[in-house]
Amino acid sequence: MMENILASYFSADITDPPTVCAAVHDGREAVALAPADETALIARFPQLAPLSRCTLTAEGWMDQETEEPALVHTLHSFTCQSDSRCTGWASYNVQGAASPSQLYTAVWQGDAWQFTSDPQIIAQ
């Protein structure tokens, strides 16, 4: 699911993009993806930095190397209801502001995953 989110983000025409990191929310805080998953995503998206490079400060996420703001995509409550259907909430945070959350659904169509997203307020 994170790969789909990042593919959509990186395919957008963004002028002067910030450092981008990816995380999962463990119920308390944003944490790094599993090392193999993070490495695979960085190989697919060279623009992606490891979460260890992005630090949460009072002003929001910052790139430790450049000391510039960073953007962190976070996946929350990722669950698979079956072998062919998974859901998760996703949002991003940049300069202390969070995007509205989107509910993502992934459905296996026999040869590929199909993704849909639905912008919702998490309380809905």
Distances (CA, A) of 49 to 44, 45, 62, 71, 107: 12, 9, 12, 10, 28
pLDDT (tens digit, 9 = 90+) per residue, 58-109? 889 999 999 999 999 999 888 899 999 998 888 888 887 788 788 889 999 9
How is residue 58 written in tokens? Answer: 């009072």
pLDDT (tens digit, 9 = 90+) per residue, 28-53? 888 999 999 999 999 999 999 999 99
What pLDDT is attached to residue 124?
Answer: 44
Indicate whether 119 pLDDT > 80.
Answer: no
pTM for this prediction: 0.85
- What residues contact residue 75 under an 8 Å CB cut-off, 6+ apart? 1, 2, 5, 22, 23, 24, 25, 88, 89, 90
